[in-house]
Structure 1
């Protein structure tokens, strides 16, 4: 899991004019969403025909920058529709989008899409993203046809967000789309606080998934990306829907939980990722048992990271989403490869299972 690619489903931009009732229903369904198609001309919103999310032009959120349309030769069937335009910032060292109407103290998922499309003939671009005055992450574009997402989960410090693109003299900053999603529950991603934001490293849906999954399947519009199953794993799936308990704030979509992997010929499910030294990573794993086990059968396993026991006696529940979380950190200057092993307990009848995983850095 050292790397992954985003392969969203694509459809042409569709301008759909709605009556008052339809608009009211759409707004209610997406309450707490702000979806901005950057570089889009005009003032008319549209509905993305894949997700059903309403996107609007970015002019009311920023007063700087230059709009560009991407050459169609760079747009593939899998390219997000929002990548067809971008806003570039050739002037000024810092250009910021301002989003008002934020609930101070609540959690938000904020995501940017960056699709270069060789719009300026310079295919190597490096710049920074800041959330207000705080560093978010570096955007490093090396392939013009590759959509890059940057995502952060954070607590609102006031009633607005300022998302800034910062020029570091390594190419012109730009952005294709900016999305904000309100997370109403205080019981999910508890590692996010007034002082800690979580920057997405990766989020994958394991098993034989047909497509990436996001809204409307995911109420928070997280993007669960398809992950190519290695040969040492086996795909399994459930023919019955996976449920979430009433108090399950994670709300991992049933479509995500319906696929999983187990070891192909072993009692240990292993994977690794390489990371920066001195950085704290928070890991969230999601499980569901697909088999109706008898009273004499069970599936129990322990989670190790670099041979250190992190979580013991994990026992997924039958057709019900269950979750664990842990954190890892290496000292500055030390090797930062994290080897994960889900090892069957001695009394386990079945090997470990993994339905989905998220990893964030602080």
Structure 2
């Protein structure tokens, strides 16, 4: 009976946190004709018609969701075209921009252009697949009462955007020693052991982070998987009340190395770079009295990484409880390869619930400008 009460209370906490977060979300459908509520998520989307004076609305023939039925295209003239988002100074936010180009009957080249956050270069958007949704996420501590998200500098085609989102974060989340001078550009956020290819986001994640499924494969991303890798899951509650608050749904699944090791390789866009890397771990199998799960996390560019032994239940002070080993400033190459290897005295193979990798992007101070809005 006590366990049932804990699950109920934790579920209520997650629900209340989710509703409170949603009230402060900003979700802009770029090119949208009207405001609406997404029936799948309950999120309220607003049209950008009253937010920006430039660009033209282009209808999308094969949209991947309500907010992708149209997009806003901007002139390829070298000017910056910007959306202004209101923020609370020194509050942390997740800023997300998405791009779905869809098919073009004109035969024009796919667009390639630049994305800025204030004066800081965020990313070069390179469209190679018309059907794919390209997602860019930046975690920031707001430098002022507003931030500008800008598009410009097309090398081919015209700059465009499908949606723009602003998500306030819990005060403890994503704190670093470098946030006065750096933003965090999200490179990978992966849910291991996922039950489908679907992403996990709001309402399962109250902060609406997007957790990609490890079943979603693409070229040079999540390859080199070790033999004996299997997915496991649990319906039990997991205590995720730690600094980064990963969603319960993500922590209830995991990949396990039944033959003693897990290995993955993925390409990280925009690397090599200094990065913040997190593993999210929870023991979600019931181990017998004489069973143990101990392993090392090995990375070829981290000296001594193989000497640190992880025992999830011991490190987390119990099973079904979150443990967050991390590197706050690590140099990673474009190709990120890592392995989890069972120790000689462990009876179970390694386990991995989720990882998150973000690149440090040095901020450029905002200056007064004549950007178009």
TM-score, normalised via structure 2 length: 0.80
Rounded to whole Å, the distance in 1 between the matches of 2:97 and 2:141 is 17
Alpha-carbon spacing, 1:50–1:63, altered in 2? closer, same or farther (3 Å)? same
Matched, 1:49 2:77: no
Alignment partner, residue 129 of structure 1: 115
Matches within 5 A, 1:53-132: 53-71=43-61, 74-75=62-63, 79-90=64-75, 92=77, 93-100=79-86, 102-119=87-104, 121=106, 122-132=108-118
Q: Which of residues 141, 153, 156 is equivalent to 1:167?
A: 153
Asked if the contact 1:219–1:251 (Cα under 8 Å) also holds between the matched residues in 2, the reply is: no
What value does the CA root-mean-square deviation take over the aligned residues? Answer: 2.4
Alpha-carbon spacing, 1:277–1:207, altered in 2? closer, same or farther (3 Å)? closer
Matched, 1:290 2:284: yes
Rounded to whole Å, the distance in 1 between the matches of 2:72 and 2:80 is 14
Asked if the contact 1:272–1:338 (Cα under 8 Å) also holds between the matched residues in 2, the reply is: yes
Asked if the contact 1:287–1:356 (Cα under 8 Å) also holds between the matched residues in 2, the reply is: yes
Aligned residues: 324
Q: Which of residues 332, 335, 341 is equivalent to 1:337?
A: 335
Q: Which of residues 296, 301, 314 is equivalent to 2:295?
A: 301
Aligned-residue offset at 1:169? 3.1
Rounded to whole Å, the distance in 1 between the matches of 2:177 and 2:265 is 22
Rounded to whole Å, the distance in 2 between the matches of 1:347 and 1:137 is 46
Rounded to whole Å, the distance in 2 between the matches of 1:120 and 1:180 is 33
TM-score, normalised via structure 1 length: 0.82
Structure 1 unaligned blocks of 5 or more: 1-25
Alignment partner, residue 19 of structure 1: none
Alignment partner, residue 323 of structure 1: 324
Alignment partner, residue 12 of structure 2: none
Rounded to whole Å, the distance in 2 between the matches of 1:146 and 1:356 is 23
Asked if the contact 1:231–1:264 (Cα under 8 Å) also holds between the matched residues in 2, the reply is: no
Rounded to whole Å, the distance in 1 between the matches of 2:59 and 2:157 is 18
Rounded to whole Å, the distance in 1 between the matches of 2:336 and 2:76 is 41
Rounded to whole Å, the distance in 2 between the matches of 1:337 and 1:176 is 29
Aligned-residue offset at 1:172? 0.4
Q: Which of residues 24, 30, 43 is equivalent to 1:38?
A: 30
Alignment partner, residue 212 of structure 2: 225
Alpha-carbon spacing, 1:245–1:84, altered in 2? closer, same or farther (3 Å)? closer
Matches within 5 A, 1:203-242: 203-210=189-196, 211-228=198-215, 230=225, 232-242=227-237
Rounded to whole Å, the distance in 1 between the matches of 2:287 and 2:265 is 30
